[in-house]
Amino acid sequence: MAQDALDYFLHALGALFRIRRIYPSGTRQVLQSAKQASQKLAEWGRPVRIAFLGNDTIVEDRRIGTIPVSFRALFQSLQQLGFESVQIEADTGEEDLTAWVENVISKSRIPYRSSKIVAGSLNLERRAEPDSALTQAVTGYMGFLAEAQEVLSDLESKKPEGLVRAREVVCAIVARLAVGRELFEPIREMKNFDDYTFTHALNVCVLSSALAQALQVSDEMVSAIATAALCHDLGKKEVPKEILNHNGPLDPKGWLLMEKHPTCGARLLLDIPGVESSNPLLPVVAYQHHMGVNQSGYPKVQKNLPQYTLHFASLLVSIADVYDALRTVRPYRPALTVAKAATILIKDTLAGKLHKEYVSKFLLMLNVLAPGRGVVLSDGSSGMIVETHAGYPLCPMVSDEQGRVRDLSEPSAPTICEVGEDSTGDPQRMPAAEQPIPSPRPPL
Ligand SMILES: [Fe+2]
Ligand SMILES: [Fe+2]
């Protein structure tokens, strides 16, 4: 199989690296393993592209969950040296392979470029030939990330030009989402790129925009929500870094500081000239994004303000915010899988913290509740989704262990309380096609 040929090459390349570290250059063992690697590459017959993105390793379009021992040492060295991308031509000979391996062993951090091998950073070392869809998506994402970083830095300094740039970036993001969902892929598949603050802001922006588009709100409102989502955590600027990156649960004093970021963010945004007239949603979403539908979150609403309701934009952003936080590696825990993150969204929805219809739409968008997915129900039984009601994805038809099909949309039926891991094992699946839900249009 073609995939096997690629695996054999990677094993042979890893062996060359290990053997060269044991034996001096030019010895029989090194020459033999270089020859072996070159032969395996020729059998694969195509260029090989390896990318390291945060904690993820991608070979061609495939994410490698656990790197096999045979080439783990090589890949770990590349990552430690700061290489994000390696491209090896199909006709690379044993000498070129050996020269590059020598360079890795010498611990050089300088981008490497020979006629057959290019290694360096993801953005700088792109080759002329067309990239894979995933690489294109990642590169596009990284471009937006750099722009988002500049916009947020401007806004943190309360520069009004940040608002203009934010609108430009958001328009570009929304336009890309309208054409296709490729911006989704890096967010869906890669858990962490680099700096949490900026990747989180961009992820929440893209996810909120996609959710708003799926809910068929006006284009103008999608852009306003996207901008507000991009700026939702600006108040974290006022939270000490030790608290933000605290390794473990926060103590009450730490929480008190953390819980101030929505108020700080709203205040910071209101201080930027022109915000109230040009984008009044920005401070609203920054202030409300942790409140929760049932207002069990923070900041607490004063008791003398009856019937305080959250703007629907804040409800959308809060779903994207919770989801992205769960899917990202944090100093105190690993990233959760899509299924585990979806389970927590469902639990938060049942607890009244998140908006049920918007969460339904979000899970539909992520293709989490598709037929074939295993689920655990609130009565303790488990089963598999066999059919999804377009308007009520949280209440699908589920076949139980005895083969009985239960309709979870019936009033007495149990609810889904846990989503099983994706049984297809296909991490590259794109979200399902959009199905409009027959719910009333959200209040604008
Ligand atoms: Fe926040
Ligand atoms: Fe956030």
When pLDDT is cut at 50, 70 and 90, the band that residue 66 belongs to is: confident
More confident residue, 428 or 307: 307
Per residue in 83-124, pLDDT (tens digit) is: 888 889 989 999 999 999 999 998 888 888 888 998 887 653
Q: Which residue has the tokens 């260029």?
A: 47
Q: How many CB atoms lie within 10 A of CB 170?
A: 28
Question: How far, in Å, is the centroid of ligand 2 from the Cα of 161?
Answer: 23
Question: How far, in Å, is the centroid of ligand 1 from the Cα of 216?
Answer: 25
Question: How far, in Å, is the centroid of ligand 1 from the Cα of 234?
Answer: 8
Question: How far, in Å, is the centroid of ligand 1 from the Cα of 287?
Answer: 9
Question: How far, in Å, is the centroid of ligand 1 from the Cα of 215?
Answer: 23
Three-state SS at 407: strand
Per residue in 267-283, pLDDT (tens digit) is: 988 988 888 888 899 99
Q: Give percent of the chain with pLDDT exceeding 90.
A: 36
Q: How many CB atoms lie within 10 A of CB 433?
A: 8
Q: For residues 288 and 344, what is the distance between their CA atoms, to the nearest angstrom? A: 20
Q: For residues 402 and 416, what is the distance between their CA atoms, to the nearest angstrom? A: 18
Note the pLDDT of residue 237: 84
Contact 114, 96 (CB under 8 A): yes
Question: How far, in Å, is the centroid of ligand 2 from the Cα of 258?
Answer: 11
Q: Which two tokens stand for residue 241?
A: 């870094």
Contact 216, 135 (CB under 8 A): no
Q: Which residues contact 259 (CB under 8 A, 6 or more apart)?
A: 290, 298, 299
Per residue in 206-246, pLDDT (tens digit) is: 899 889 989 999 988 998 999 899 889 989 888 888 888 77
Q: Which two tokens stand for residue 221?
A: 């409102």
Q: For residues 20 and 222, what is the distance between their CA atoms, to the nearest angstrom? A: 55
Question: How far, in Å, is the centroid of ligand 1 from the Cα of 87?
Answer: 39
Whether the predicted pLDDT of 438 surpasses 50 = no
Note the pLDDT of residue 61: 66
Note the pLDDT of residue 124: 36
Whether the predicted pLDDT of 51 surpasses 90 = no
Question: How far, in Å, is the centroid of ligand 1 from the Cα of 228?
Answer: 12
Q: What is the DSSP pairing of strand 416-419 with strand 374-377?
A: antiparallel
Question: How far, in Å, is the centroid of ligand 1 from the Cα of 332?
Answer: 17
Q: For residues 399 and 374, what is the distance between their CA atoms, to the nearest angstrom? A: 10
Question: How far, in Å, is the centroid of ligand 1 from the Cα of 282?
Answer: 13
Note the pLDDT of residue 133: 65
What's the whole-number mean pLDDT along residues 320-344? 86
Per residue in 241-262, pLDDT (tens digit) is: 888 877 788 899 999 999 999 9
Question: How far, in Å, is the centroid of ligand 2 from the Cα of 218?
Answer: 24
Q: For residues 131 and 153, what is the distance between their CA atoms, to the nearest angstrom? A: 31
When pLDDT is cut at 50, 70 and 90, the band that residue 136 belongs to is: low
Q: In the chain, what is the straight-line distance between the N-terminal and C-terminal CA atoms, in Å?
A: 54
- The CA distances from residue 57 to 62, 118, 251, 357, in Å, are 8, 17, 35, 35
Nearest ligand to the CA atom of 258: 1
Note the pLDDT of residue 148: 81
What's the whole-number mean pLDDT along residues 129-151? 70
What's the whole-number mean pLDDT along residues 408-413? 89
Question: How far, in Å, is the centroid of ligand 1 from the Cα of 235?
Answer: 8
Give residues whose Cβ lies within 5 Å of ion ligand 1. 233
Contact 72, 157 (CB under 8 A): no
Contact 84, 121 (CB under 8 A): yes
Note the pLDDT of residue 186: 61
Question: How far, in Å, is the centroid of ligand 1 from the Cα of 202?
Answer: 13
When pLDDT is cut at 50, 70 and 90, the band that residue 68 belongs to is: confident
Note the pLDDT of residue 100: 94
Whether the predicted pLDDT of 444 surpasses 70 = no
Note the pLDDT of residue 340: 92
Note the pLDDT of residue 196: 61
Question: How far, in Å, is the centroid of ligand 2 from the Cα of 232?
Answer: 6
DSSP state of 442: P
